[in-house]
Amino acid sequence: MKVATTLSGIIDYKRPGQGTSDIISAGFENAFLNFDALCSPYELENTGRPVIEQEADDDPQIKVSAQPSYMHKLLHPLLEKCGGKSINEKRINIEAAYAPYLPRETKHGDEINDLLKELTIESIKACAAFGCHYLIVRPLFAGIEPGAEFQANKEYYISLAETAKQNNVILLLENQCSNIGGHLVRGLCSDAQTSAEWIDSLNETVGEERFGFCMDTGICSICGQDMREFAIALGARIKVVILRECDGHNENSILPFTGINTSSFQNEWLNLIRGMREINFDGTLILEYAGTVSAFSPLLRPQLISLAKSVADYFKWQIEIEAALKKYKSIVLFGAGNMCRNYMKCYGEKYPPLFTCDNNKSLWGTSFCGLEVKPPEALRNLPEGCGIFICNIYYREIQKQLRGMEIENIEFFNDEYMPSFHFDRLKRNDEMGD
């Protein structure tokens, strides 16, 4: 699984040097390119309408909506920093991109759809220039009668398939909202089962796997969807997951875990993580946090991007939590409390620990969840290739203790996003021991 950052709000497409440098310094190797930065929904909405005010621009006469191939010229500065290989400098790999799209509340009819197709064709070619494998192409909706969505979109997507094939690009459908009087509700492709059927039908028509799905967690969140159910219905068709938070009813791109309200989170990541584990997701996790980026001072941006990298890595780690367990020939746990109990409930049978240990002397020699509780000293005599998993929230303190004992193979376990939970919690005051 790969992790990638958005470029939105971080990169100035005309002068991308500082932004790419910040991204590389934060440790990101992959990024997500949004072609709507070159042809915004606003620009598309105003296509064919009298221009009231000319935007200040280096080349104000040419708009991408008027001349879609002009997109490539605007991408030149970024192309020098991203994609491909360079011996002399580290470059950012573009993992996925967004084709330009209309605003949800468009007043256009279906006459705009030819332009959207043209822009998408140019976006596919631009993807090829960056070596980008996935292009997210939102379904058409302007001027399409209810009930005719699939037929209209099938024709649209199939018409893009040959260009996509020539450029080695996979086209991804994405879940959308609809707007009912200002209330965002489930829209096109937001029913996972229906989307799976669309994708299968498209792939069958072109005779290869040319289409997949991009799961936007922000839309799932606004629509109150169970992300585990959503992910399972689409399964391996999901190639890209966009991680972003909204406030539950308005669309936004907030860094995960920061969209809080009265000390409580507003996105539920548990079901996403459960779902991603169950489908063995191995695609790309894209962190979309343009809203958070725009709220921070440019002076703080490098630190913010570093935090975003940690958040992305955390998601990857949670989804692949079993990968750490598989690394070792055998394992032991550190901690004989609720986290150990949760480990044993969900993973004890598949990855049985040799024993657990705890700093609490009163537990030594007792049995907990079928495991013998030993003193930390027992960790000095482990078999070769044995991993020690800290099952206690005082991770760093215990890690320091174990490092002081010159013990290796120290790993963290975490029970925040378990496949299932006990109905009760043990009421022991001192899980840490003395």
Partner 1 sequence: MPKKLGIGVQTQNIIEDDAPREGFEILREVGFSCADFSLNAYLKNKALYQQKLNKFFDKSDNELEQFFAPHKKAADEAGIRINQMHMPYPNYVPNGKKELNDYLRNVVAPKSMRICDFFGCKYIVIHGFKLAYNLGSEEAEWERTRDFLDFLAPTAKEMGITVCIENLYTGIGNHIVEGPCCNAGRAAERIDRFNDKYNAEVLGFCFDTGHANLVGIDFEDFITRLGKRLKVLHVHDNDGISDLHQIPFTFTKSRENKPSTDWDGFIRGLRAIDFDGTISFETAPVLTSFPDTMKKDVLSFIQKIGEYLSEEIASTTCHEQK
List residues near partner 1 by CB under 8 A. Answer: 177-178, 180-186, 190-191, 193, 221-226, 228-229, 248-249, 260-262, 264-268, 270-271, 274, 418-424
- Cα gap 330→381, rounded to integer Å: 13
Decide whether 12 or 268 has the Cβ nearer to partner 1: 268
Rg (CA), the chain: 25
**Strand-pair partners of 34:** 98
Min dist. Cβ of residue 258 to partner 1 (A): 13
Decide whether 108 or 228 has the Cβ nearer to partner 1: 228
Contact 183, 228 (CB under 8 A): no
Min dist. Cβ of residue 265 to partner 1 (A): 4
Q: Which residues contact 21 (CB under 8 A, 6 or more apart)?
A: none
Min dist. Cβ of residue 147 to partner 1 (A): 10
- Cα gap 252→432, rounded to integer Å: 39
Min dist. Cβ of residue 176 to partner 1 (A): 11
- Cα gap 155→133, rounded to integer Å: 22
- Cα gap 361→107, rounded to integer Å: 71
Buried b (16+ CB within 10 A) or exposed e, 115-128: bbbebbbbbbbbbb
Decide whether 89 or 322 has the Cβ nearer to partner 1: 322
3-state secondary structure 271-303: HHHHHHHHCCCCCEEEECCHHHHHHCCHHHHHH
Quick one: residue 42, left, alpha or beta (phi over 0 = left, psi -120 to 50 = alpha)? alpha
**Strand-pair partners of 5:** 31, 287
Min dist. Cβ of residue 66 to partner 1 (A): 30
Min dist. Cβ of residue 138 to partner 1 (A): 17
- Cα gap 393→354, rounded to integer Å: 21
Decide whether 115 or 184 has the Cβ nearer to partner 1: 184
Decide whether 191 or 320 has the Cβ nearer to partner 1: 191
Helix (H) or strand (E) holding 73: helix 70-79
Decide whether 223 or 276 has the Cβ nearer to partner 1: 223
- Cα gap 112→102, rounded to integer Å: 9
- Cα gap 99→122, rounded to integer Å: 9
Quick one: residue 48, left, alpha or beta (phi over 0 = left, psi -120 to 50 = alpha)? left
Min dist. Cβ of residue 187 to partner 1 (A): 8
Min dist. Cβ of residue 105 to partner 1 (A): 9
Min dist. Cβ of residue 153 to partner 1 (A): 16
| CA 37 to each of CA 255, 403, 409: distance values in angstroms, whole numbers, following the listed order | 20, 48, 45
Decide whether 123 or 190 has the Cβ nearer to partner 1: 190
- Residues across the chain: 434
User: What is the dihedral sign for C-alpha 54, 56, 62, 67?
Assistant: negative
Decide whether 181 or 207 has the Cβ nearer to partner 1: 181
Contact 426, 391 (CB under 8 A): no
Min dist. Cβ of residue 173 to partner 1 (A): 17
Min dist. Cβ of residue 232 to partner 1 (A): 9
Decide whether 268 or 411 has the Cβ nearer to partner 1: 268
Decide whether 65 or 190 has the Cβ nearer to partner 1: 190
- Cα gap 316→2, rounded to integer Å: 8
